[in-house]
Amino acid sequence: MPSHRLTLALTGMLLAACGSTARAQNALFRWHDNMDRAAAAARDSGKPLFVVFRCVR
Amino acid sequence: MKALRARFECVRVTQMNGVDIARFEFDYDTTWAAFFLDADLNVYSRYGGRDSDSAEGRMSIESLAATMTEVLEVHERQKGHAPADAANWQPVAQESTTPEAIPLLAQSHQGCIHCHQIQEYRLLQAFHDKQFQRNLLFGYPLPENIGLRFDRAHGHKIESLDEALPVARTGLKAGDVITRVGDVPIHSEMDLRWALHRHDDRRPLKVQAQRRVAGRTNPPPSIEVEISLPESWRQTDLSWRKSLRSVPFPLGFLGYALGREERAKADLPENVLAIRVVSIRGAGLAEAVGLRKGDVITALADRRQSRTFDQFKSDLLRDHAPGDRVRLKVLREGRGQSLEGAFPDWLTTDIAVP
């Protein structure tokens, strides 16, 4: 995959929680914005955490 | 990717205020980084990283998926293992800390803390604490620095080895998958870069790898080797780094790389170094070597290839430490001259990051 498409894809993952087209996905999936709540959710679900740092300069 | 993503609790962080940077230590000059952890915030893996060629060239959807798949396998194994096997976690500093614990940042900064500002304030703080060392500039060495080139679609499978470097004589081969460096489990290229970043140069670099053998069933045999590190192995191009502006290096002049028209006027081809000195600013390298306003720098020691101003600055920092002789060739009023002087001591009056 060309690199600029990769950035779009990765950013798209971040933005998936926003926007009307993503609402259906969000029924199954949502991004946490609080580490403590995410860790608690991981404890409940048994899933590992995927933490993304996206710095906007 | 969506199916993989759904098997994680996903967290997005868009500012660094209050973040535990002892646990979430990454190359803060980058604008994107990912971590994989368990619910107790034990770190399985890191993903991301860039180089001077491109912001994304070292990442791919395929290698991210490979890392996520490996993390899920380890996570499932950990769940069935009581107590959990700590060897599957990456080492984390005992004491947590935040960006706000950097005194100059706390004193000078308000509002959203960007990743690069952490690295910049660390450099300034180290200088003002008299702890600055040149090695602080060369973080997260590339695998190529030790002679390894990885398959970009996998992340940590060796694609080729540099025959000119000691790694080629360790027994590692193309196709081997690096699984551990020292005490760091490896699931991505960034894991390896982090392991190199924190490596103590006084110790040998111990590397484990797995080798698939045709006709053999899993698990593939494990190989353990020690890699001798080449001279200056940490050093990489700094020109892409935002933190370059906060290095306590008194260059002592402002300049720019000549464009096409100016090169044509000066009869300088496009592939050669051509940095024009716009102004001299205080004590520093320019004063030490005798640069003057209007000079065009055409060579740094034997380096003559075309460079941007930041690349030129990066080359100076890669090749010199305070006290080293710096040799320049310049065009002054159309005539070639050689200049030479001492690389200056580290110095900055900055206490804040723009």
Q: Which residues of A touch B37 (CB under 8 A)?
A: 48-49, 51
Lowest mean pLDDT among A42-51, B71-80, B236-245: B71-80
Cis peptide before B250 (omega within 30 of 0): no
The set of residues, in sequence order, having a beta carbon less than 8 Å from that of B43 and lying 6+ positions away, is B23, B35, B36, B37, B89, B90, B92
Burial class (CB in 10 A: 0-12, 13-18, 19+), B247: buried
Please give the average per-residue pLDDT across B310-325, as a whole number: 96
Q: Which of residues 13-32 of B touch A (CB under 8 A)?
A: 13-16, 24, 26, 30-32
Superfamily of domain B143-227 in CATH is PDZ domain (2.30.42.10)
Record: contact B36-A28, CB cut-off 8 A: no
What CATH number is given for B249-342 in this structure?
A: 2.30.42.10
A25 to chain B: which residues are within 8 Å by CB?
A: 2
Q: What pLDDT sits at residue A28? A: 59
Q: What are the boundaries of each domain within chain B? A: 2-97, 143-227, 249-342
- ipTM, two decimals: 0.91
- What pLDDT score was predicted for residue B146? 96
Domain count for chain A: 1
- Is the CB of B71 inside 8 Å of chain A's CB atoms? yes
Find the mean pLDDT for residues B141-170. Answer: 96
- Contact between chains at A1 and B61 (C-beta distance less than 8 A): yes
Reported as a pLDDT band with limits 50, 70 and 90, residue B83 is: confident
Per-residue pLDDT at B221 = 78
CB contact under 8 A, A52 and B32: yes
Whether B9 sits inside 8 A of A55 (CB atoms) is no
Residue A14 lies in a domain: yes
pLDDT score recorded for residue B94: 85
In three-state secondary structure terms, B25 is coil
Q: How far is A9 from chain B (nearest CA, A)?
A: 8
Whether B298 and B268 have beta carbons less than 8 Å apart is answered as yes
| Residue with tokens 């103590």, as numbered in its chain | B200
Q: Do domains B143-227 and B249-342 have the same CATH topology?
A: yes
Residue with tokens 């679609």: B153
A27 in reach of chain B (CB within 8 A):
no
- Structural domain includes residue A52: no
B118 pLDDT band, cuts 50/70/90, is very high
- B53 interface with A at CB cutoff 8 Å: no
Count CA atoms within 13 Å of residue B327 on its CB side: 5
Q: What is the mean pLDDT of each run of 10 residues along chain A (57 residues)?
A: 50 46 56 94 96 84
Residue B100, pLDDT above cutoff 90: yes
Average pLDDT taken over every residue of chain B: 94
Bridging pattern class, strands B9-13 and A49-54:
parallel
B352 pLDDT exceeds 70? Answer: yes
DSSP of B120-167: HHHHHHHHHTT---GGGGS-S--GGGGTEEE-TTTSSBEEEE-TTSGG
In this prediction, residues B200-213 reach a mean pLDDT of 90
Residue A36 at interface with chain B, using a CB cutoff of 8 Å:
no
Would you say B297 and B274 are in contact if contact means Cβ atoms under 8 Å apart?
yes
pLDDT of amino acid A47: 96
- Average pLDDT value for residue range B253-281: 95
Residue-wise over B181-220: b if at least 16 C-beta within 10 A, else e? bbebbbbbbbbbbbbbbbbeeeeebebbbbbeeeeeeeee
User: Which domain, by its residues, includes A31?
Assistant: 3-45
Residue B162's nearest CA partner among B67, B264, B233 is B233
Q: What are phi and psi of B249, to 5 degrees?
A: -120, 110
- Chains A & B: contacts with CB separation below 8 Å: 143
pLDDT for B89: 94
